[in-house]
Structure 1
Amino acid sequence: MADYIYTMEIRLTPDQQKGVTLVQDIARAAGMNVYLTGGAVRDIISGFSIRDLDFTVQGNPLKLQKELERAKAIVSASDDDLKMLYVTLPGNVRAEISMARTERYEKTGKPPFISPATIIEDLRRRDFTVNAMALSLNPGSRGLLMDPFNGAADIEAKLIRILHNYAFVEDPSRLIRAARFAARFHWPLEERTQARFDSARENNYIEYITDEAIGREIEQVAYEDDPLHILHTLEKEGWLKVLHPRWSSAKVDTAGLAHLMKTRQQMNEIGYSPDPAPAVMYFLTGRLGDKDITEMQKLIPRKDLVEAWRDLEDNAKTLAKRLNSKEAATPSRTWKLLSEVRPEMILFLAVTARQQAVLQKIKNFFTKWRQVQQKIPLPEMTELYITPQMPEYGKIANDVFMLLLDGKLRSRTETLKYLKPLAPPPPPPPPAPRRGRAAKAAAAAMQAATTANPPAKKKGKEPPAAQPAKPSAPTGSAAKAAPVQKPAATQKPAATQKPVATQKPAPAQKSVSPKSPQHPPKKKAAKPARQQSKKKKRH
């Protein structure tokens, strides 16, 4: 389980991860089990770009609409029959939230009978094995992959396989979807699937396709990474005429579409993620009449896509007019203006603008002016304590950037001169660390040792030598053999001894003469010694 959660986290963009967390939390609060299903799981496992998120809940997702709108998600459309929400989550993330259901078809071309179901039953009613997988987002089973039809194996084998023999009969729009997947992934249809595909085309089951299915397929073409290739494939299979009878590759503005996809790639490289679908549809239908375009727009379920498609030209004219006005008279004003508008408007204007001044400003916005940001002296700002922790840091950095854009700060010296008055006072020194009992005891012992052993002086007199201790009196023959010691007055001083740190030196004692009354008389002490020596000689 953990492997799929890790794969999901590294494959989703940060905005998509936030979208998954948002839907997951709202569904849990409503007491519904929620799963990531369909194309999102397929693209996570296969490694293809994840274009949108598909969620399935065991319950009615229409009850989640108010909570989603409170979380700043845009609900662009809803389907009361299928119990489905078309949502744009924060960060411009497209998502669909549907009810886990079963579909029972009684006649080709007729809407199915819908009933609530479990997640496994919901996977059984899907089109292809690679789309019949679900990833649990529920506590206790988070990261569990449900793959009852072995779709992961078909992804590894790069095959498109239907779930049952009546897949194309029940829903003829799956014929268009199979051709679109084969063109996008460059995967062939599985042998049995190809046979059923050919049989359904020969029997002309495509004539039973519904208008809702046509609208969904037109919308999906707009979000393809290579829409022109998809269009050529559908035209070759004969399905493009099904989407609209007068739509063909000859009606496409090929040069404009190529320029659009190239500009979109450049914007992605510098961190912008515009939604190209409205502009893609504009160029895919560039040579169609207004009446034909209106007919196609009525079929698309996502009304926000339709509105953006309709407003492209008007928004581009308005933005071009603003770029030529005093509102964009300086580089800093132009930067501020282009930073506030939606990226989709800049993308379309960069492709369709004819005024050289407008094109140059857009080009500078993406290239030249971004290099000026590197001239902001970030290390010197840190030395001046102008760091991101300051509440005013964002404003200071932005003001410096604007002045650099307009050429009012031309060198690093001028920039530092501007920044120094804005620097906060340096922080106070840190307080002294508190010492514990062990540290205090060690410091006291070190001080005592230093006091007991003062360092030796290089110059001056040496300390006085300590006098030797008083000798003990000899007994027996040792008294006669021992030489008589001279008085202390006539004896030379002993060598200087260093006092021990833990013991005080003993006080010096005066030497005592042999005639001291403390010792026995010399004659009386000598007799026993002579008698002992005679006894030894006899023996």
Structure 2
Amino acid sequence: MKIDRLLLKLPEDARDAIGLAAAAAEDSGGRIFLVGGCVRDLLLRADSYDLDFVVEGDGMKTARKLAVLLKGNVVHHHRFGTATVAHGGLKVDVATARTETYPVPASLPSVKPGTIGDDLYRRDFTINAMAASINDGDFGRLIDTFGGLSDLKAGKIRVLHKESFIDDPTRILRAVRFEQRYGFRIEPRTLSLLKKSAGAGMLHSVHPHRLRDELLLMLKEKSPCRQLRRLERTAGLDFLHPRVSLGREECSLFRRVPARDAWFSLRLPHRRRPDIWVVNLMILLDALTAAQTVEFCRRFGMRRGDEKRVLAVKQLGAARLKRLHSARARPSEIYSILEPLSYESILFLSIKHGGGQFRKNIEDFLCFYNGMPIRINGRDIHQLGCGPGPLYQRIFSAVLEARLNGEVQSRQDELALARSLIRRYAAADREVKGAGRNEQER
């Protein structure tokens, strides 16, 4: 079977990269193939243009030549004989065809050069173990040794051999992710092997950073709740944390995410788009305490910025949450509570704590208070007779508070308030200094 017509329907930059990759491989004395997810998605007519190439020959030499032809950059990953070539928005992976062995279960594999057949055999599932030649003479020839096309048509997720989930237990998460993404089913033998591996505790043997990478991919899917529920039913979630589970409350929160994300995009199109996977992670970890959340983030190697965003909602406190529920909360109060938080934290709060006054207060902050400018600056403060120093920030904060609360409207109002504040602070300063002199005289 040939899929040359499908290859020719790819976007122009992808077609150009394929042509240049074939030229680079030929110049290096090798043969090159498009492999894995790209071939799968081409056959599914899915919009996915990630290009993964495997070279029978010297993949690193091919990658260097491709980078020159693309006028791009190349990053080598020598341990696994792979490289990434980037040019503009295009990124392609190039690897030397290899065979893998696992020194111990759940470890990273040892690799050595092999054939395209060897390389396909090391893949996770049959639907990802297909390749397409892009060489002259057989361009578009589909290589499907393990029945991937048949499984793709039947909507089945199937491993290539019985040790697959023992060798690499992260495939448990990938099996669920592909099953739920495409509406497929994990076929019975594969499901039995999956459950056997999970029951033996193999996920607990994997380095947490590898599990993190797979978990984040799940959280970035369109329906993370469906994926996680399937994972919980087939393998459990205790490998993440004993308190992580998906009950009715968590599933309800997950279902509300798309609507809040759509609202944010519609009402605030020029703001930074929230990372929805972070919101999904907050939902997943909702039952954990602040200390348990820190332990989770450190164990799984989360970036400190992401840890800070997730932890912020745990540290907000009942008193501040109560104020956000109140119709009597002043705009400056709402601002002081929400301004330090990320958009992800704020969206999570709006999802968890429902509608009514709480949501109104949050939407008022996002639409009106957040980013509200004041019209005076440091030059104005200096011209009012105040020298540079910490007093500037106190004045600006007081002016912003008054502006948020509608107590000042114009630039002249702000100047008048600043002038009165300078007088008040100066008088207070004189009083403090006078008290100090009196104490010394005593």
* TM-score for the superposition, normalised by structure 2: 0.57
Q: 1:277-299 deviations in whole A, cap 9, x for unaligned?
A: x8133212236557357437737
Q: CA deviation at 1:132?
A: 1.0
2:279 corresponds to which letter in structure 1?
F
Contact 1:128–1:163 (CA under 8 A) maintained in structure 2: yes
Equivalent in the alignment of 1:136:
133
Q: 1:153 to 1:238 in 2, by over 3 A?
A: closer
- Runs of at least 5 residues in structure 1 that lack an aligned partner in the other structure: 300-305, 314-346, 360-539
Distance 2:260 2:20 in 1: 32
Residues 155-166 of structure 1: pairs in structure 2 closer than 5 A = 155-166=152-163
Which of the numbers 33, 56, 68 marks the counterpart of 1:58? 56
Equivalent in the alignment of 1:388:
none
Q: 1:161 to 1:254 in 2, by over 3 A?
A: closer
Q: 1:138 to 1:51 in 2, by over 3 A?
A: closer
Q: 1:196 to 1:238 in 2, by over 3 A?
A: closer
Equivalent in the alignment of 1:356:
367
Q: CA deviation at 1:124?
A: 1.4
1:298 corresponds to which letter in structure 2?
G
Contact 2:60–2:81 (CA under 8 A) maintained in structure 1: yes
Which of the numbers 286, 291, 308 marks the counterpart of 2:294? 291
Equivalent in the alignment of 1:458:
none
Q: Is it true that 1:188 corresponds to 2:185 in the alignment?
A: yes
2:294 corresponds to which letter in structure 1?
K
Q: 1:291-310 deviations in whole A, cap 9, x for unaligned?
A: 357437737xxxxxx69968
Contact 2:99–2:122 (CA under 8 A) maintained in structure 1: yes
Q: Which has the larger radius of gyration?
A: 1
Q: Is it true that 1:35 corresponds to 2:38 in the alignment?
A: no
Distance 1:23 1:266 in 2: 41
Which of the numbers 265, 277, 280 marks the counterpart of 2:276? 280
Q: 1:30 to 1:227 in 2, by over 3 A?
A: farther
Distance 2:309 2:23 in 1: 35
Q: 1:74-133 deviations in whole A, cap 9, x for unaligned?
A: 66x754322233565533x55433321111234323333311001011111222111110
Q: 1:97 to 1:246 in 2, by over 3 A?
A: farther
Distance 1:107 1:14 in 2: 44
Contact 2:199–2:235 (CA under 8 A) maintained in structure 1: no
Q: CA deviation at 1:214?
A: 1.5
Equivalent in the alignment of 2:199:
202
Contact 1:244–1:296 (CA under 8 A) maintained in structure 2: no
Distance 2:259 2:60 in 1: 40
Q: CA deviation at 1:216?
A: 3.3
Percent same amino acid among aligned pairs?
Answer: 27
Contact 2:173–2:215 (CA under 8 A) maintained in structure 1: no
Equivalent in the alignment of 1:445:
none
Equivalent in the alignment of 2:78:
80
2:6 corresponds to which letter in structure 1?
T
Residues 60-459 of structure 1: pairs in structure 2 closer than 5 A = 60-63=58-61, 64=63, 68=67, 71=70, 79-86=77-84, 90-91=88-89, 93=90, 95-211=92-208, 213-243=210-240, 254=254, 257-259=257-259, 262=262, 279-286=275-282, 288=285, 291=294, 294-295=297-298, 298=301, 354-356=365-367
Determine helix, strand or coil for the equivalent of 2:108. coil
Q: 1:399-421 deviations in whole A, cap 9, x for unaligned?
A: xxxxxxxxxxxxxxxxxxxxxxx
Q: 1:153-203 deviations in whole A, cap 9, x for unaligned?
A: 111111111112222222222222222222222222223223322332333
Equivalent in the alignment of 2:409:
none
Q: 1:199 to 1:307 in 2, by over 3 A?
A: closer
Contact 1:26–1:68 (CA under 8 A) maintained in structure 2: no
Distance 1:251 1:72 in 2: 48
Aligned residues: 313
1:356 corresponds to which letter in structure 2?
C
Distance 2:20 2:305 in 1: 25
CA RMSD across the alignment: 4.5
* TM-score for the superposition, normalised by structure 1: 0.48
Distance 2:186 2:242 in 1: 26
Distance 2:108 2:281 in 1: 30
1:104 corresponds to which letter in structure 2?
T
Q: 65-74 vs 36-45, which deviates more?
A: 65-74
Distance 2:213 2:106 in 1: 16
- Runs of at least 5 residues in structure 2 that lack an aligned partner in the other structure: 311-342, 349-362, 371-442
Q: 1:14 to 1:119 in 2, by over 3 A?
A: same
